[in-house]
Structure 1
Amino acid sequence: MDIATIELFVISMPLKSPFVTHLGEVREREGIIIKVTDKDGVEGFGEGVAFSTPWYTEETVRTSLHMLEDFLIPLLQKHPINHPEEAAGLFQSIRRNPMAKSGLETALWDLYAKGQGQSLAKMIGGTRDAISSGVVIATDTITKALKQIEGYLEDGYQRIKVKINPSQDYEFLSAIRRHYPNLPMMADANSAYTLKDIEQLKALDDFNLLMIEQPLAHDDIIEHAILQEKLVTPICLDESIVSFEDARKAIEIDACRVINIKIGRVGGLHEVIKIHDYCYERGIPVWCGGMIEFGVSRAHNIALASLPGFTIPGDISASSRFWDEDIITPEVKVEKGFVTVPDGPGIGYDINEKRLQQVLLTKKTFTI
């Protein structure tokens, strides 16, 4: 990999409608697009998916920029690599900061796949030509939720995820079940509960949910094991799984029976593939989570979800779910509940340069 330059584009776009959870409300999405160009002019793209504020993890757009500019890019300048898998080992000298690492590592994967003339999906072991698509309901009233669900089902989405918290769970889910008794549905708590709420969470077994995602603390595994023993509904871990070792330990103690995999949360595709393979060998279902991404990260998620272990529809919705206009072309579309996996080189999407410039805040270029 004869890298010539690395460019960082900080962009910002308004969401078509607010994304609401008990942790806060997102109306404007800021992020980092990372472009790696080799000496032959081949370009690879990745996306830093940290938010502007540390509500989901401790990382933010600003901290990611700091890590990229002052540590990760200098490492590549000093230590050239031949394959994107080598980046994971190179970045181990820096603790945590997985979203900054992932943004750069995924750009390297896209560049490498394009250099090999191969789709990223096939390169990492993908077996599907199309992936099933789910969508998230994140609003504060039952009326709004039912209206959103009606629209998404018309669009063909195959699974609905509902954001819940202790003041908005049983009644909320009950209303949805009355309207849609057979709807494939899961609930996402984003760490809103504690073990004091066991009886409240046990009551949610009434709704035949696919899973309850991250009900307890964002960094917990032990108490989730205690809770899982009391529930019929499978627990899915999200924020608690930031590495392969976290996944291995959680599975060993039965802290969860499903894992949400996000490339940015665990530091890149190399780590994700390790987690996928471990779960696949043990019959643990996995699915691809979303981060209110722009098109670049969405494209990487599509490639990832083509792996055989991704048996549950992920949070990979159409570009139009969040944006009036995305930064990739063609935009991601959901047709009859599925997203086609591109077979072109790399991620299989091009950058919409005009749109990128329209939403650009700052740009920095580094010579390797």
Structure 2
Amino acid sequence: MRVTAARLHRVRLPLVHAFATSSHRKAELDHILVELEDASGAIGWGEIASPSDPYYAPETVESCWHIAERYLLPAVLGQEWDEPEQVPRLWAKVRGNQFAKAGVDVAAWVLWSTLRGVPLAQALGGTRAEVTAGVSLGIEPTIDDLLTQVRRQVDAGYPRVKLKIAPGWDVEPVRAVRAEYPDLDLHVDANGIYSESAGHLAALLALDEFGLTMIEQPFAPRNLLAHTRLQRAVETPVCLDESVETLDDLETALSLEALRVLNIKVSRMGGLTAARAAHDLARASGIAVWCGGMHEFGIGRAANVALSSLPGFTLPSDVSASEKYYARDVVTPPVVARRGVVQVPESAGLGHGVDTDLIAATTIATASL
């Protein structure tokens, strides 16, 4: 197989509801869509779902554009490969830049599975026909506003709700949600904002009483020892997200017993190739995994659904319906969740059409190689 042309599209879509984390608030998103085309004219689509600002990770939309256009796409163009797992080797000298790599890697998988006439999930080794979805809710102005958002998602049938937390917005919001929904699969995500100061530790330890499914990424990404110490002090499983960008990171975290749950994000780990390898290692190590999201448009969301069909994804994943985030998505049909369950597409490749008219109307920059 040989890619003969590649294109980048910087697409901007508004969110239906503004989303706030411990570091920032956003009302619209810019993501980069990747097209890889072979000599037959077949196209594989991928998505670079990096944040616009370097708060979640060092990468930004601008840095990803530069790396994809200058290094990744030139490394792929004209090169022969037989399996999509071989594609990351073409840019092996490029360090880091996982979000940029992920968009190109996903496009390679979609192109390959499309040409083979198999669904992306099957190409990855997926075994599920449907995936249980959870939702992620941001920090709201008031606890009443948060309860309104939780109620909306529970009424829509989602069986798991994740709450973003930050110092000063942790114990009381969780207490309020748990009081109203005593049996809800509930977990929290700090995006690494806490330290081991007395006040911060007291809040994290207090969360142990609420029967949470997990406390996700309480400390900074590289502070694995703090996660180990917290995991020894609480019954609630600690989940790592930002800490694990590579298989080496995962092996280190496992050795330190710094986690009991792993959030695997296709974007954070550099694509489907690395994400599948992380799934395999975590499963062999007895670690529960789920697929996290970056508010992907439909292309990245469909890739997440395909990954979540692998057997080790035993917890609800962030693959909620397109309509939760976007009034109109870039795939047709959009990703749909019915009572919190998403069907895994059975058609070849991505399993969705791509709305090129919407992409053209919302693109603010393009590049062709």
Q: Does the alignment reach a TM-score above 0.5?
A: yes
Deviation at 1:220, TM superposition (A): 2.2
Q: Is the 8 A contact 1:186 1:209 kept in 2?
A: yes
**Structure 2 residue 183 is the aligned partner of structure 1 residue 182:** yes
Deviation at 1:78, TM superposition (A): 6.0
> Deviation digits for residues 120-141 of structure 1, max 9, x if unmatched?
1011110000000000111322
Q: State the AA in 2 paired with 1:121.
A: A
In structure 1, how many angstroms separate the alpha carbons of the residues matched to 2:137 and 2:69? 36
- Counterpart for residue 211 of structure 2: 208
- Counterpart for residue 122 of structure 1: 122
Q: Is the 8 A contact 1:259 1:286 kept in 2?
A: yes
Q: State the AA in 2 paired with 1:42.
A: A
> Deviation digits for residues 168-220 of structure 1, max 9, x if unmatched?
11111111111111111000011121112222211101100000000001222
> Deviation digits for residues 327-368 of structure 1, max 9, x if unmatched?
1000011112100000100110110112111211111111xx
- Counterpart for residue 62 of structure 2: 62
- Counterpart for residue 249 of structure 1: 252
In structure 2, how many angstroms separate the alpha carbons of the residues matched to 1:67 and 1:163? 30
Deviation at 1:21, TM superposition (A): 1.2
- Counterpart for residue 355 of structure 1: 358
The 5 Å alignment of 1:159-198 reads: 159-196=160-197, 197-198=200-201
**Structure 2 residue 350 is the aligned partner of structure 1 residue 337:** no
In structure 2, how many angstroms separate the alpha carbons of the residues matched to 1:180 and 1:24? 27
SS at match of 2:204: helix
- Counterpart for residue 226 of structure 1: 229
Unpaired stretches in structure 2, ≥5 consecutive residues: none
SS at match of 2:35: strand
Moved over 4 A (4+): none
In structure 2, how many angstroms separate the alpha carbons of the residues matched to 1:121 and 1:363? 29
TM score, norm. by length of structure 1: 0.97
Q: Is the 8 A contact 1:195 1:227 kept in 2?
A: no
- Counterpart for residue 46 of structure 1: 46
- Counterpart for residue 324 of structure 1: 327
Q: Is the 8 A contact 1:102 1:264 kept in 2?
A: yes
> Deviation digits for residues 101-157 of structure 1, max 9, x if unmatched?
110011000000011000110111100000000001113221111111111111111
Unpaired stretches in structure 1, ≥5 consecutive residues: none
Q: State the AA in 2 paired with 1:146.
A: L
- Counterpart for residue 35 of structure 1: 35
SS at match of 1:363: strand
> Deviation digits for residues 86-113 of structure 1, max 9, x if unmatched?
1122222101001111100110000000
Q: State the AA in 2 paired with 1:265.
A: R
Deviation at 1:2, TM superposition (A): 2.4
Q: Is the 8 A contact 2:3 2:77 kept in 1?
A: no
SS at match of 2:111: helix
In structure 1, how many angstroms separate the alpha carbons of the residues matched to 2:155 and 2:173? 21
SS at match of 1:264: coil
Q: Is the 8 A contact 2:150 2:161 kept in 1?
A: yes
Q: Is the 8 A contact 2:2 2:77 kept in 1?
A: no
Moved more, 300-309 or 54-63: 54-63
> Deviation digits for residues 44-66 of structure 1, max 9, x if unmatched?
00000111111111101111111
Q: Is the 8 A contact 1:47 1:297 kept in 2?
A: yes
Q: Is the 8 A contact 2:4 2:78 kept in 1?
A: no
In structure 2, how many angstroms separate the alpha carbons of the residues matched to 1:77 and 1:330? 30
